[in-house]
Structure formats: structure tokens, C-alpha cells
Amino acid sequence: MNEFLLRFARQSHEQNASKTFCAIDDAVRDRILGFYTIAPSAVEHATVPDAMTRGLARHDVPGFKLARLATDRAVSGQGLGGQLLAAAALRCLRLAGEGGGLLLIIDAKGERAANWYASYGAEPLKDKPLTLVMPLITFAADLRAKRLL
């Protein structure tokens, strides 16, 4: 987590290549508890699970890459990762409302991470088991119910 934040996140953020958002500890002002990074992206239509492409033209399917999501080991297992995933989805839904986008595209760092994302409804691409996708609409009803969208 620290190496990415120190070496790449700020530079990519300032260049508009991607945007990184942090969860900060209320008790310790400069302590980052977790973060996520997003960037506009698209995936090849033929690789997306069929249920997610019904009715779409056979062009690349637009969305947002969840380039990174990480939490501090000290808060692992306390639900912050799921909260960051929801926050990323909310931000992407708002962006999609202005410029389009259907999917959250996730590059899992390994099988364990892929299984974690799958527990939230993500499905692997047909040709890349560690690249998962989720329709942004998956999050919309829950976020509307919480009056966040």
C-alpha cells in the first residue's frame, strides 16, 4: 500500500491519469487507513459475461478501472475494504451520469482478492480470471436507498 501511494498515486493523480481517494483516520490526522484508485477504461465486448452485454452494441464496453484498493493491515477484516468499494462505485456512478460508463473493471492481485470481489458480485472476464467486472447499476439501488445517489 505505502509504495504505491508514495511512488505512483500522487504523480498519476496530478497528471489526470487516475485519481486516488483516501480514507483518513479521524484520531491520527495523517494516517491513511485505506485508499482506492480509479481511471476511465473499457473492456472488449466479447470478453464480458453475456448477461452484462445484453442489448449493447458490439463495441468496447465503457467503465472505470478500479486500479487499486487497499487497506492498512491494522484495520483488515473490519469492513473498510467494502466501504471503499462502495465509495468507488458511488464516485463512478456519478461520473457515468455525466460521461457514460457501465462497468467497474477490477484487476485483482491474486485469487484471494478475486474471490473477495466475487463476494460482492464481480464476475471474471471470459479470458482473464483475475480481471473482474461488475455493472455499476449493481450498486445503484443500495446507494439510492441510503440517499447517497
Selecting among 36, 116, 117, 139, the annotated active-site residue is 117
Beta pairing partners, 68: 37
> Which 3-state string (H, E, C) describes 102-146?
CEEEEECCCHHHHHHHHCCCCEECCCCCCEEEEECHHHHHHHHHC
Q: What residue has cell string 480470471?
A: 129
User: Does 117 qualify as catalytic in the annotation?
Assistant: yes
Closest CA to 56 of 98, 94, 101, 106: 101
Q: Are the C-beta atoms of 44 and 53 separated by less than 8 Å?
A: no
Distance CA(21)–CA(12), nearest Å, equals 12
Residue numbers annotated as active site: 117
